[in-house]
Amino acid sequence: MALEIIESCVNCYACEPLCPNEAIYQAAPHFLIDPVKCTECIGDFEVAQCASICPIEGAILDELGAELNPPGSLTGISLEMLAKYQAAVEATYQAALEAKSA
């Protein structure tokens, strides 16, 4: 029973001091959680402290591999809107590439 930090972690240091069990440590290429020390904050806090402060959606997973802060949960941007904006950015990028090569 432990959480996991994955590669989208940006090494912001925010979670490390909040862990009641000193389970989070700096590593390369990103912070990690010692599964032996992590208790998922049960008995100390109502919510996992690391996930409660992490600014990156999807950077921390539960023991089943589910994202504690799934896409849209922190930004408030729906998946549909996100896909729409990404498509617009991609279209603008492609248009710029084509204009450059013309």
Q: What is the CA radius of gyration of the chain?
A: 18
Residues 69-88 that bind ligand SF4 (CB under 6 A): none
In three-state secondary structure terms, 38 is: coil
Main-chain phi, psi angles of 67, to 5 degrees: -70, 130
H-helix or E-strand spanning residue 52:
helix 49-53
Stretches 31-39, 70-78, 83-91, 93-101: which one binds ligand SF4 (CB under 6 A)?
Answer: 31-39
Q: DSSP letter for 85, please.
A: H
Choose the stretch contacting ligand SF4; rule: CB under 6 A; options: 9-17, 71-79, 87-95: 9-17
23 lies in the site for ligand SF4, by CB under 6 A: yes
User: Does residue 54 bind ligand SF4 (CB under 6 A)?
Assistant: yes
49 part of the interface to ligand SF4, by CB under 6 A: yes
